[in-house]
Structure 1
Amino acid sequence: MTTSGTPATGDEDARHRARASRAAARGGLRYLGLLPFLAYVGVFLVFPTFIVVLGAFQDGQGNVSLTNVRALTQRVYLEAYARSLQLSAASAAIGAVLGALLAWALSTANPRGPLRRAASSACAVLSQFGGVTLAFAFIATFGLTGLVTEFLKDHFSIDLFSYGPWLFELPGLTLVYSYFQIPLMVIVFLPALEGLRPQWRDAVHSLGGSTWHYWRHVAIPLLAPAFLGSTLLLFANAFSAYATAAALVSQGSPLVPLKIRAYFTSEVLLGQENIGKALGLSMIVVAAAVMVFYALLLRRATRWWR
């Protein structure tokens, strides 16, 4: 029996090895689809990050130095960071509150209705609307000779610029940033609102609770991690924004991204590119910290939606 069973066992092992090799080959072919993505991430994210980190700790001769990092403690850079953080926090707060209210309104609409689909599509488009186009739109609307500015001045004797060129300073940037922060909040917060189960509201009502009790003791605690995580995402989005501020602001209201641009484009600051890289490194640290907190809050929020 041993002699007759051995060849069968050997054939079975060979078939197992053949199937395993074919499965491994198919798995390798599936991973080949990741190569374009990995190449894209390597060229446009990993390699530039490596160059920024390396240059931040080098002097003009290429020697290892902390001079660039120490320079960030100067007043001019601290003021730029204060403005960037203030702008990011203000626009994130406005976008989070108004976007959450709009997302709640959309969550009550028919998911397959034309209003819901049109609003969702508009938010997807407007959340990516920025740069020179957005800056020009606000200048043409609320600028010194903008459409709304002239209309209010001619018909109601209201001068929007009686207290200065606010559109080209921090208040104006906050308004412009809120334009794409609000629809972005709708996109990232709407799934959390849709995750609220009707059974939870029914359970509160069956126990004698009101709508206020439902929101106070059930909905708001469940939505709080998702809301805070979405707010952090808006903060990171505003903190790293560059094109809109560069098109709207030239010299006033210095921000960290505009300071970095100055070190790579200004003829006055030639040879000091590594300070710009140190500023870029500090932005990477801030953005990474924000995204870590966002990931922790997102993990906490997803416990209830499983």
Structure 2
Amino acid sequence: MKVLLPLDRSAESEQVIPLMVAEAPGDAEFTLLRVIRPEPTRVYEDAIVIGPGTVAFGSGIEEAEIDQSLAYLSSVVRRYEVLPSGTRCEAHIASSSSRGIVEFAQSEGMDLIAMYVRERTGLAGLFKGRTAKNVVRTSKVEVRTFRPASLEETDSPPMADQQGGAGLAACQLFRTLTSQQRDSIWAAGETENVTQDQVLAKEGTLGLKLYVILSGEAQLSAPSAVGHIPVRVAKPGDTFPLASLLGADALITTAKAMTPMKVLSIPTADLIKICVDDAEIGAVVFREAAKVFADRYSDTLRHLARAVEREADPGEKRWPPAD
């Protein structure tokens, strides 16, 4: 039996792994998949413009995107020891996440696709729900979906309920550290309860704290000529603002709580000191920070391009046509 596990870097998508390993027969073969979405080419009159963050075939950008995805998937295999030896890690380029999952599953002869469905309100929930629904609707391969209720049955409690360094195990920045190393970072911070609409970081100011989201969500936005443009939604396991850790003079985004939140607030200076004092921690944290920063920068450019597009000439032509 060949099982495909599409992952999107979220803790929820990874929680499907132990559930499927427990359900699948002992000789099942597992493949972890990360779908890379290129920015569509746009045509303005006689000019062909490749959008920011485009994954151009054969380009250095494509290679970087694939390398980052494979590195992430490899780290997942190392962290989830329940995965059998020989588990494959694959990155696939497609115009949409659902199309990429379906194409890969069919071309590789998969017997089952296992993925989670995030039940959320708002724009983020719309896109996440649409991906899963499109896979179920268009796939000729059997699809097994997991909803939040079933994910909560796993042995790993929500981040907000975990104590000490265990609360950082699902955070990409710290999850490859040892438990003792995560404990030292946790001890440097303080947990805070955040109210809805509270601003945690503001563009143009110094980033004096690094926040790790334990529960809830925050919206990050950036100023533009047409007003503030939403950049992304940060969720449990995400850290922000990374620019403070990488030595930026001032932040370029504003972070506001979309829901009540619980966060771990770590003074940036204290975290940097830990990284300097312990070279092993420093190497891991800054390596992962660079990966996360590169991924987010690419995603940010995509979101900004799409938002600005809406303000462009309504006569603009697009290629390829929207699905």
Q: Choose 1 or 2 for highest CA Rg.
A: 1
Q: TM-score w.r.t. structure 2 length? A: 0.25
Higher share of residues assigned helix: 1
Q: TM-score w.r.t. structure 1 length? A: 0.26
Higher share of residues assigned strand: 2
Greater length-normalized contact order (CA 8 Å, ≥ 6 residues apart): 1
